[in-house]
Amino acid sequence: MSDLLNRKPETGAFFPRDRDWHPPAYTPGYKTSVLRSPQKALLSLDGTRSEITGPVFGHSILGELDNDLIHNFAKPGESAIGERIIVHGRVLDERGQPVPGALLEFWQANAGGRYRHKKESYLAALDPNFGGCGRTITDENGYYAFRTIKPGPYPWPNGVNDWRPAHIHFSIFGHGFSQRLITQMYFEGDPMIWKCPIVMTIPDRRAIEQLVAALDWSATIPMDARAYKFDIILRGRRSTLFENRMEGN
Amino acid sequence: MVQSLDYLKESPSQTAGPYVHIGLTPNFADIQGVYPSDLGTAMVNDRTRGERITITGRVIDGSGTPLRDALIEIWQADCDGLYNSPSETRGSADPNFTCWGRCPCDLSTGEYRFDTVKPGRVPFRDGRLMAPHISFFVVARGINLGLNTRLYFPDEEAANAEDPILSRIEHRVRVPTLIARKDGATYHFDIHLQGDKETVFFDI
């Protein structure tokens, strides 16, 4: 909790989610969604205390290499094979306010598009020095950064010839359970983005572009690693200045 | 023209995919040695106050098949109805209780399980008490945006009858989809994604 500095605790309800900006549940181009999408309307709630609160994680959970996927699974003195990159950015809310103390977890395939998972059978080889998971917590300005190798594209059984673009999965905890978000980051210039049925579940092209990280030449470290910048926006919350029923906030 | 409101748009969601375990429960995925343990596996310890209960169940698709690649997170109050969160302003929750848990469904049976305590009652926005409940967040391959629902307790009939959220459900026949089945200290709660038995999901 000390990660949240001396901010006054925020107790306002979150802005309603714009569900036309997010993918709908039923997206037949992504076949698995057909039997896994609710058919009835959602029941909308204006956040109660159960939704405006949420878990916050301290730095005590973090190990030294948790934000270094090049080394956190590698044997001593060795490192993962692939394009060395830094992914960095800020976590902000819809009001543009930084979200400090946000836990970010990420996972990805290796440079050849192979995941380290027992249910995975793609013929591309595993990298003995790459696990594919990492985590970090945003600083007081909402900044985060981690090192990894750029994941390869990955074929999957949807259509006969569907391939995922290179992507990194992100899971984000803000300060309230309503802000909980899982998404995916894509890479600038990847032609696979616009062919992908999972990307295309998002109806608005501008929303898709929000998930495409930009090559960041300024943050690239010469002779070491290129950088990609990926900002994440979580839901904003109302001010409680004029809430007149304080006992319920 | 008028001034711009200047709000940003929330980052759009994408599915957690079939390999969500790599990132969120790597030890479960046999990726050993990166984290000492998976986050969210232990909600209670020896000193946690309250009535010990187990929550278990499955997530079931529109064909009646259990999902074997779903992952569930729960968020609940402690036994006094307090949340372990900076936004909890009424007091301090039990320091020996996380209020939050994470569990991947079993890769063969699809079952999830949480060992926790029964939550106390929490006030609604207008001060009325809500019935004891546990908030769920469900993700999986095929789910584009995490689904939110609530578990309520069958042995809290009076509280459930006056719960402001349950009271909002127009189709009364759907209320039982949110109420677990009790078997000793274990509560069974299956989540039906689609069809006749479809669980009520919330836009929170």
For residue B120, what is the domain's CATH number? 2.60.130.10
Task: Determine, yes or no, domain membership for B204.
Answer: no
User: Could you tell me what percent of chain A has a pLDDT over 90?
Assistant: 89
- Contact list, B63 vs chain A (CB under 8 Å): 35
Q: Tell me how far CA of residue A61 lies from CA of A88, B13, B45, B125, B191, in angstroms.
A: 20, 26, 17, 33, 31
3-class secondary structure for B137-150?
A: EEECCCCCCCEEEE
Task: Determine, yes or no, domain membership for B13.
Answer: no
Cβ partners under 8 Å of residue A41, min gap 6:
none
Catalytic residue among A88, A90, A147, A164: A164
The domain in which residue B37 lies consists of: 19-192
**A167 has catalytic annotation:** yes
Task: Determine, yes or no, domain membership for B100.
Answer: yes
Tell me the pLDDT tens digit for each residue of B58-73.
Answer: 999 999 999 999 999 9
Residue of B nearest to A115 (CA): B19
Residue-averaged pLDDT of chain B:
97
Catalytic residue among A26, A115, A122, A143: A115
The total domain count for chain B is 1
User: Could you tell me what percent of chain A has a pLDDT over 70?
Assistant: 94
pLDDT-derived band at A8 (thresholds 50, 70, 90) equals confident
Query: Nearest Cα to B7, choosing from A19, A95, A117, A31?
Result: A95
Residue of B nearest to A168 (CA): B23
Task: Determine, yes or no, domain membership for B9.
Answer: no
Q: What is the pLDDT of residue A11?
A: 86
Angle at alpha carbon of residue B42, lines to B40 and B44, rounded to 5°: 125
Q: Tell me how far CA of residue B2 lies from CA of A102, B6, B8, in angstroms.
A: 34, 12, 17
Closest CA of chain A from B95, distance in Å: 12
Provide the residue count of chain A.
249
Q: Tell me how far CA of residue A27 lies from CA of A47, A50, B25, B91, in angstroms.
A: 27, 30, 27, 44
Query: pTM for this one?
Result: 0.96
CA end-to-end distance (rounded Å), chain B: 33
Tell me the pLDDT tens digit for each residue of B35-49.
Answer: 999 999 999 999 999
Cβ partners under 8 Å of residue A96, min gap 6:
B6, B7, B8
Q: What is the pLDDT of residue A242?
A: 66
Task: Determine, yes or no, domain membership for B58.
Answer: yes
Task: Determine, yes or no, domain membership for B28.
Answer: yes
Q: Tell me how far CA of residue A20 lies from CA of A111, A183, B112, B166, in angstroms.
A: 34, 16, 31, 26
Q: What is the pLDDT of residue B85?
A: 95
Q: What is the pLDDT of residue A249?
A: 41
What's the rounded mean pLDDT across residues A227-241? 92
Q: Tell me how far CA of residue A55 lies from CA of A31, B4, B43, B101, B118, in angstroms.
A: 33, 33, 12, 10, 18
Task: Determine, yes or no, domain membership for B76.
Answer: yes
Closest by Cβ to B124, choosing from A53, A73, A248: A248
Q: Which domains does chain A show, CATH number per domain? A: 63-234 (2.60.130.10)
What's the rounded mean pLDDT across residues A53-63? 95
> What residues pair up with A68 in beta bridges, in sequence order?
A147
pLDDT-derived band at A1 (thresholds 50, 70, 90) equals very low
Tell me the pLDDT tens digit for each residue of A102-150.
Answer: 999 999 999 999 999 999 989 999 999 999 999 999 999 999 999 999 9
pLDDT beyond 70 at A243 = no
**A26 has catalytic annotation:** no
**A169 has catalytic annotation:** yes
Task: Determine, yes or no, domain membership for B202.
Answer: no
ipTM for the complex shown: 0.97
Distance CA B38, CA B41 (A): 6
Inter-chain touch A50–B77, beta carbons under 8 Å: yes
Instruction: Retrieve residue A38's tokens.
Output: 């609710």
3-class secondary structure for A53-94?
A: CCCCCCHHHCCCCCCECCCCCCCCCCCCCCCEEEEEEEEEEC
